[in-house]
Amino acid sequence: MIDINYILPELFISISLMFILLIGVFKKNSSLLVYNLTMISLFILIILLINLRSLPSNSFFGSSYLIDELSNYMKTITVASGIFVLLTSSKYIKSINIFKIEYPVLILSSMLGMMVMISSNDLIVFYMGLELQSLALYVLASFNRENLLSSESGLKYFVLSALSSGILLYGCSLVYGFSGSTNFNLIADNIINTENGLTFGIVFILVGLAFKISAVPFHMWAPDVYEGSPTSVTIFFAILPKIAALTVIIRFLYVPFLNVIEQWQMIIIFLSIASMIFGAVAAIGQNNLKRLVAYSSIGHMGYALAGISTGSNQGIQSSIIYISIYLIMNVAFFSCLFMLRRNDKYFEKIEDLSGISKNHPILSLCFLITLFSLAGIPPLAGFFAKFYIFLAVIEKQMYFLAIIGLLSTVIAAFYYLRIIKIMYFDDAKQKYDVDHHLGLKLSLIISTIIILLYFMYPGSLVEIINKINLI
Amino acid sequence: MDFPILSSLILLPTIGAFFIFFVKSSNKTYQASKYIALFIAIANFIISLYLWYEFDNSTSEFQFTENRVWIKNFINYKVGVDGISILFILLTTFVSTICIITVNYTVSTRLKDFLIAILLMESLMIGVFCSLDLVIFYLFFEGGLIPMFLIIGIWGGKRRVYSAFKFFLYTLLGSVLMLIAIISIYWFSGTTDIEKLYSIGIEAKYQNLLWLAFFSSFAVKTPMWPVHTWLPDAHVEAPTAGSVLLAAILLKMAGYGFIRFSLGLFPLASDYFVPLIYFLSLVAIIYTSLVALMQEDIKKLIAYSSVAHMGFVTLGIFTMTQQGLEGSIFQMISHGLISAALFLCVGIIYERTHTRLINQYGGLVSIMPKYAVLFMIFTLGALGLPGTTGFIGEFLILLGIFKKNIIVATIASIGVVLGAAYMLWMYKRIIFGKIVNENLKELMDVKKVELFLLCCLAFPVIFFGFYPEPLINTIEVSIQNLLDIYNFNLASYQAKTLYD
């Protein structure tokens, strides 16, 4: 008998999803209502998820669906960042005319897919979740359909993502063929070290997942899609799918394949080093802030992968800390981006930031803190994220990875400094509007304060995450 | 001691900065932020004087220690001072006060932000000198980059962007390797607490690499030849207060780091790398002195002279003798005061004429007699005239080196002569001679506030030059202890290798 409490969040989100969709269809002009209902249901969802933490870990449906510390934590931060996404962008979507009922519904369904992914302990369940979130994301990317760039980015993402899903499915079939099961635990029992086919399966699945977190060399879609999509969708892209995909990578590598770590460790290290270096170097020449975020997120995923590559609990925990802090920094970054508005027109070029420190001291200070944090300068939160990663990496004596990682931090510091230079050292231009809605202000202030004051209680996050043990 | 005096020293400027941030920036209330900053800085200076007064000279233990759990089972927030660090804290609070007064009467654009940056800087610098945990030390050490980057970039001269970037990226590049070393030490020894590490010691086979990683960071910050090139750029472009902070305190962080970490944690590696340090320091002393001789720009000249003086400091530290180490610390304090004063002097004439080129000046002695006298005190201090602190520092350092290596000492003495040459030549060209530039005739002599600041700086330079006893007493026991640990480690290692 299944304890319904465990899957209450998923049940709740599915039901509210259908309910909200029905309201949207049958009630005229209900976009605002739908939007608010979505917000409310996300808040309820987060309460349900926090409630779950008191229950012991358990698995369901022939142990293909797993509720444990990892899944609870990752779901919580997924939903929390979902709330932030909706909070920051409500005015933006109105002003570019995509305030439609489908928008929140698509976000909800994509989040449902992510939650399924996060909890999956079976290749088929995981694939189902992946497709559900991806399908919603295709539509979201091209949601601003009058805009050519947006349609292009949706199509681009669809074609490339479909290809990567195909490779991933092929990998799944290989793994099934060589281990005789799709369940992670059963695969772990059945694998034989020397099978080449199994290695191919792992590689193919990793390719598909690397595509989702835009790790080099599967990153080609990211800059175009980030730039083309509406900004409210870009922030979604930058945070949520990465949390889900990273969880799947952790579970997929550490549950069935930890014993054959020598087969995949080099691949992850390669992905990590390539992403860190490429993310740092390629961002230098960018002039569009959204494109720049794409490259910087490629680099950040490199650091998260460096933690995973260690094959230790410390490594997983450091990656999870990294992604948590990364999401807060991204919320702050995009909140600043949403504030660059003049007469309902949004600006996203670097030179639009020129001299804003004179006209908008508080906004530019928040931006400054976020950028230094992204660059990993102490005592801001971003430094601790990197600190834990390198702590785990050096524990396993992977000095090469640590040195490359830290050197690319220095390169990456250059382009963050360039933005700061434009904000603080250059001459001021026209003022921007200051009548931002409460949600945007709140999310900017909350995220900046977390980044700035994280160093006072760095232990609190660690203590939560220390409970996550996969090995 | 129950009252957390060190934490309040660290926190007070930050709190001040926080208040200033919320003062509205209309013309009238600029006054308010000026007074807040001044009040905080003076209060901090008084607290640090009290700290010195309460400080117990007779023990090498860390005093006023505070130990709080910061990350459970991992890092403790631990601060404390011994004889080595307390003088640097005094120097920091003193020079920060001077900087704030300078800023108050010279800077007109975005004064509020400048004061915030300086106060934050002060917090971080005090933190560097009293942290007793490697990770905490790293936080403070690196955190200082942010305000300094902004100070150079916002209020700097024409090539400020280039200089700010160069400063930031050079120091960051040096420091990331130190971060790797710190994390490695954690995994080798299970702790980052400095006191514990002193007693546990670090295994001999790791010491050389770890030493090099720390060295890469400190060498950039000191700065040692050949990674000194950021310093002249940063100095030339930085505003006066920025230059003062940079020369007086930021450079001293590295010297302090060499004593506290390189000598204290890696005695074997320090012994092994002595020739390297001697070589780099000698190159720095001779080469940068020669470069300083050729400078057209006053600020650049003083910047290069800083590199040469810091060369003496590193030389003195790695003699591992009582005299050498005492001399180095003395030299750092003295250089902190003198270079701060020299940059103020340059600032004074720059503000009036808007040029820093030496050949634009000449004959100032008849126009600005008071200025000429004060400038002379500091020039003579910088070249190490007996009766100033500069002499005692250099003399002790040379004494220490003569004990160890006569050739090195001889070459270093040439540096002293060169130092006299470039300083005096610069002084002659600026102050004496004919008045070539007609604009100079209109110049006003030093204002009251400038006179006050320079006298404040001249007093300790001369006082401790004649009577160095209080400073030497403060550092003596701690240095003795450091050297004992060092010699003990070396001896036991040699005994072990013989035994094997």
* A239-256 per-position pLDDT tens digit: 999 999 999 999 988 888
pLDDT band at B206 (very low <50, low <70, confident <90, very high): confident
Option in B139, B161, B180 nearest A378 (CB): B139
Mean pLDDT of chain A: 88
B143 and A377 within 8 Å at the Cβ level: the answer is: yes
B186 and A391 within 8 Å at the Cβ level: the answer is: yes
B153 and A395 within 8 Å at the Cβ level: the answer is: no
Summarize the confidence of residues B124-145 as an average pLDDT.
90
A303 domain-assigned:
yes
Angle of helix B160-189 relative to helix B204-221, nearest 10 degrees? 160
Instruction: Quote the radius of gyration of chain A (alpha carbons, Å).
Output: 21
A304 domain-assigned:
yes
pLDDT at res. A304 = 92
| DSSP per-residue codes, B152-218 | HHHH--TTHHHHHHHHHHHHHHHHHHHHHHHHHHHHHHS--BHHHHHHH---HHHHHHHHHHHHHHH
Q: Does B407 touch chain A (CB under 8 A)?
A: no
CA angle A378, A384, A388 (to 5 degrees): 140
B187 and A414 within 8 Å at the Cβ level: the answer is: no
pLDDT at res. A434 = 84
Write the burial class of residue B222 (CB in 10 Å: 0-12 exposed, 13-18 middle, 19+ buried): buried
B180 and A402 within 8 Å at the Cβ level: the answer is: yes
Q: For residue B357, list its beta bridge partners.
A: B297
A312 domain-assigned:
yes
| Residue type at A233 in one-letter notation | V
pLDDT at res. A245 = 92
Task: Among B10, B180, B189, pick the best mutation site for testing chain A contact (most A Cβ within 10 A).
Answer: B180
Q: What is the pLDDT of residues A389-412, one digit of tens each?
A: 999 999 888 889 998 998 899 999
Q: Report the C-alpha gap between A117 and A123 in whole angstroms.
A: 10
Option in A394, A410, A458 nearest B187 (CB): A394
Q: What is the pLDDT of residues B260-275, one digit of tens each?
A: 888 888 888 888 888 8
A377 and B176 within 8 Å at the Cβ level: the answer is: no
Q: Does B417 touch chain A (CB under 8 A)?
A: no
pLDDT at res. B432 = 85
A403 and B177 within 8 Å at the Cβ level: the answer is: yes
Q: What is the pLDDT of residues A352-396, one digit of tens each?
A: 888 888 888 888 889 999 999 999 888 899 899 999 999 999 988
Option in A383, A459, A463 nearest B70 (CB): A459
> How many angstroms away from the CA of B150 is the closest CA of chain A?
8
A425 and B177 within 8 Å at the Cβ level: the answer is: no
A28 domain-assigned:
no
CA angle A112, A114, A116 (to 5 degrees): 70
Number of other residues whose CB lies within 10 A of the CB of residue B14: 17
When divided into structural domains, chain A yields a total of 1
Task: Among A390, A408, A410, pick the best mutation site for testing chain B contact (most B Cβ within 10 A).
Answer: A410
Q: Are A106 and A139 in contact (CB under 8 A)?
A: yes
If you measure CA to CA, which chain A residue comes closest to B22?
A362
A390 and B172 within 8 Å at the Cβ level: the answer is: no
pLDDT at A97 over 60: yes
> How many angstroms away from the CA of A290 is the closest CA of chain B?
23
Summarize the confidence of residues A19-29 as an average pLDDT.
89
Task: Among A284, A380, A406, pick the best mutation site for testing chain B contact (most B Cβ within 10 A).
Answer: A406
B75-81/A345-346 β-pairing: unpaired
Percent of all residues in chain A with a pLDDT value above 70, rounded to a whole number: 99
Q: Report cis status (omega within 30 of 0) of the bond before A379.
A: yes
> How many angstroms away from the CA of B490 is the closest CA of chain A?
28
Q: What is the pLDDT of residues B34-87, one digit of tens each?
A: 888 888 889 989 988 888 888 888 887 888 888 888 887 788 888 888 888 888
pLDDT at res. B190 = 84
Task: Show the tokens assigned to A308.
Answer: 């995973």
Tokens 């779901």, located at residue: A75
Task: Among A358, A362, A391, pick the best mutation site for testing chain B contact (most B Cβ within 10 A).
Answer: A391
pLDDT band at A424 (very low <50, low <70, confident <90, very high): confident
Summarize the confidence of residues A417-427 as an average pLDDT.
87
3-state secondary structure of B69: strand
A1 domain-assigned:
no
Task: Show the tokens assigned to A386.
Answer: 């990197």
Option in B150, B176, B184 nearest A407 (CB): B176
A27 domain-assigned:
no
Option in A377, A459, A463 nearest B146 (CB): A377
> How many angstroms away from the CA of A442 is the closest CA of chain B?
19
CA distances, A203 to each of A157, A264, A271 (Å):
21, 8, 12
B69 and A402 within 8 Å at the Cβ level: the answer is: no
Q: Which helix (H) or strand (E) holds B84?
A: helix B83-106
Q: Report the C-alpha gap between B459 and B452 in whole angstroms.
A: 11
pLDDT at B2 over 70: no
CA distances, B172 to each of A30, B130, B159 (Å):
53, 21, 20
> How many angstroms away from the CA of A417 is the closest CA of chain B?
8
If you measure CA to CA, which chain A residue comes closest to B75?
A459
Summarize the confidence of residues B279-288 as an average pLDDT.
90
Tokens 């933490």, located at residue: A53
B310's CB contacts (< 8 A; 6+ apart) are: B222, B223, B224, B251, B254, B255, B284, B335
Q: What is the pLDDT of residues A452-471, one digit of tens each?
A: 888 888 888 888 888 888 77
Q: Are A373 and A329 in contact (CB under 8 A)?
A: yes
Residues in chain B: 500
Reduce the secondary structure of chain A to three states and give it as a string. Answer: CCCCCCCHHHHHHHHHHHHHHHHHHHCCCCHHHHHHHHHHHHHHHHHHHHHHCCCCCEEECCCCEEECHHHHHHHHHHHHHHHHHHHHHHHHHHHCCCCCCHHHHHHHHHHHHHHHHHHECEHHHHHHHHHHHHHHHHHHHCCCCCCHHHHHHHHHHHHHHHHHHHHHHHHHHHHHHHHCCCEHHHHHHHCCCCCHHHHHHHHHHHHHHHHHCCCCCCCCHHHHHHHHCCHHHHHHHHHHHHHHHHHHHHHHHHCCCHHHHHHHHHHHHHHHHHHHHHHHHHHHHCCEHHHHHHHHHHHHHHHHHHHHCCCCHHHHHHHHHHHHHHHHHHHHHHHHHHCCEECCEECCEHHHHCCHHHHCHHHHHHHHHHHHHHHCCCCCHHHHHHHHHHHHHHHCCCHHHHHHHHHHHHHHHHHHHHHHHHHHCCCCCCCCCCCCCHHHHHHHHHHHHHHHHHHHCHHHHHHHHCCCCCC
Task: Among A420, A448, A453, A456, pick the best mutation site for testing chain B contact (most B Cβ within 10 A).
Answer: A420
Q: What is the pLDDT of residues B432-463, one digit of tens each?
A: 878 777 777 777 777 888 888 888 888 988 89
Number of A:B CB contacts under 8 A? 81
pLDDT at res. A272 = 92
> How many angstroms away from the CA of B43 is the closest CA of chain A?
25
> How many angstroms away from the CA of A462 is the closest CA of chain B?
8
> How many angstroms away from the CA of A1 is the closest CA of chain B?
40
Interface of A with B (CB under 8 A): 358, 372, 377-379, 383, 387, 390-391, 394-395, 399, 402-403, 406-407, 409-410, 413-414, 417, 420-421, 424-425, 455, 458-459, 462-463
Task: Among A380, A384, A386, A387, pick the best mutation site for testing chain B contact (most B Cβ within 10 A).
Answer: A387
Q: Which of B478, B457, B192 is nearest to B322 (CA)?
A: B478
Q: Are B223 and B230 in contact (CB under 8 A)?
A: yes
CA dihedral angle for residue A241, residue A244, residue A246, residue A247, rounded to 10 degrees: 180
Q: Which of A26, A9, A13, A28 is nearest to A104 (CA)?
A: A13
A379 and B139 within 8 Å at the Cβ level: the answer is: yes
Option in A390, A420, A462 nearest B179 (CB): A390
pLDDT at res. A433 = 84
B186 and A379 within 8 Å at the Cβ level: the answer is: no
A77 domain-assigned:
no
> How many angstroms away from the CA of A375 is the closest CA of chain B?
11
pLDDT at res. A98 = 82
Q: Does B176 touch chain A (CB under 8 A)?
A: yes
Q: Report the C-alpha gap between A432 and A416 in whole angstroms.
A: 22
Q: Are A215 and A304 in contact (CB under 8 A)?
A: no
pLDDT at res. A131 = 92
pLDDT band at A129 (very low <50, low <70, confident <90, very high): very high
Q: Report the C-alpha gap between A371 and A336 in whole angstroms.
A: 11
A29 domain-assigned:
no
pLDDT at res. A27 = 86
Q: Does B71 touch chain A (CB under 8 A)?
A: yes
Task: Show the tokens assigned to B354.
Answer: 């808007």
Summarize the confidence of residues B346-353 as an average pLDDT.
85
Quote the longest CA-to-CA distance of chain A.
68
Q: Which of B368, B454, B373 is nearest to B102 (CA)?
A: B454
Reduce the secondary structure of A95-142 to three states and give it as a string. Answer: HCCCCCCHHHHHHHHHHHHHHHHHHECEHHHHHHHHHHHHHHHHHHHC
pLDDT at res. A40 = 92
pLDDT at res. B28 = 62
Q: What is the pLDDT of residues B8-18, one digit of tens each?
A: 888 888 888 88
Q: What is the pLDDT of residues A176-205, one digit of tens each?
A: 988 888 888 888 888 776 678 888 888 999
Q: Are B407 and B335 in contact (CB under 8 A)?
A: no
Q: What is the pLDDT of residues A31-77, one digit of tens each?
A: 888 888 999 999 999 999 888 888 888 888 888 888 888 899 999 99
pLDDT at res. A303 = 92
Structural domain including A422 reads 259-471
Q: Are B482 and B194 in contact (CB under 8 A)?
A: no
CA angle B397, B174, B127 (to 5 degrees): 70
Spell A425-443 as b/e; 16+ CB within 10 A means b: bbeebeebeeebeebbbeb
Mean pLDDT of chain B: 86
A421 and B153 within 8 Å at the Cβ level: the answer is: yes
Option in A383, A390, A425 nearest B153 (CB): A425
Task: Show the tokens assigned to A272.
Answer: 């990590």
Q: Does B170 touch chain A (CB under 8 A)?
A: no
Torsion sign over Cα A84, A86, A89, A91: negative
pLDDT band at B26 (very low <50, low <70, confident <90, very high): low
> How many angstroms away from the CA of B184 is the closest CA of chain A?
6
pLDDT at res. B25 = 62
pLDDT at res. A20 = 92
> How many angstroms away from the CA of A410 is the closest CA of chain B?
6
